[in-house]
Structure 1
Amino acid sequence: MAKSQDTFTKRERERQRLKKQMDKKDKMLERKTNKEKGKSLEDMLAYVDENGNLADKPADPRKKQVFRKEDMMIAIPKMEDIPVDLLRTGTITFFNYDKGFGFITDHVSQESIFVHTSELTFNARENDKVQFNIGKGPKGPVATNVEAFKP
């Protein structure tokens, strides 16, 4: 009598393959039975609440805020707002001699202003008090005529 050619592992693999097929058919049948045909438009809509999160219900109209597009600014403020001729005082918060630039914090507006090494009249270090004028640069205000502060 001849022995069967099927080994244990072959039978086990075949059993697993059949189980996968059955699971796949069961899932497909379940999807078909639970399919929601003819959803209403209200069920398909998604709303955005006042915080920008998706919600099932529309946002409360009492919390609605109205913005005018004229009031919105998506850019660097125009240089017309900054008086150019005033002599200002500030503190050097960062300076890198290797790269040749730094930043000054204005004492009045607390604004960070770019300064290039060519505008300095002395050897500047961080935390030095300086006097300077403000000029227009390609990316915003720049410090010009930077001198050590003499009270």
Structure 2
Amino acid sequence: MSESFSKKENRKKKAKVKEDKMQKKQERKTNNNKGKSLEDMLAYVDENGNLSSVPPKETKKAEIDSKDIRIGATPRPPEETTRTGVVNFFNTSKGFGFITDDKSRESIFFHINDISEPVKERDKVYFTREKTPKGYSATAVRKAGSESKKF
């Protein structure tokens, strides 16, 4: 009984795969890490963060006080509470307006309930900027010429 060409080729491929598998198994046996001492398996990190097989040289270590270690974000200086600006829009019937902040040049919303005295467009005002879900809002709005409250 004669074998077809494809059957012979398949048998050769299987034999080749089996041979390669045996060869890899033999390589793993000769190069295994079992039985190595702890010293052989250790890796060291030098002062530059690089791995090496030798321990780093003993150098004089700087003492750091635990009070000097800061964890977290760097604290920001407190923001100015009172700002100045100019009323660039005010709708008395709807009860809201916008102030152009002198420092940031952004337009900040204010409500009629947040003003201490009547204001109109182009009035110079003092106000406190407050963060709201919709952005910044001006509170404690008063005219710049008024001496009713000191800032």
Higher Cα radius of gyration: 2
TM-score by length of 1: 0.46
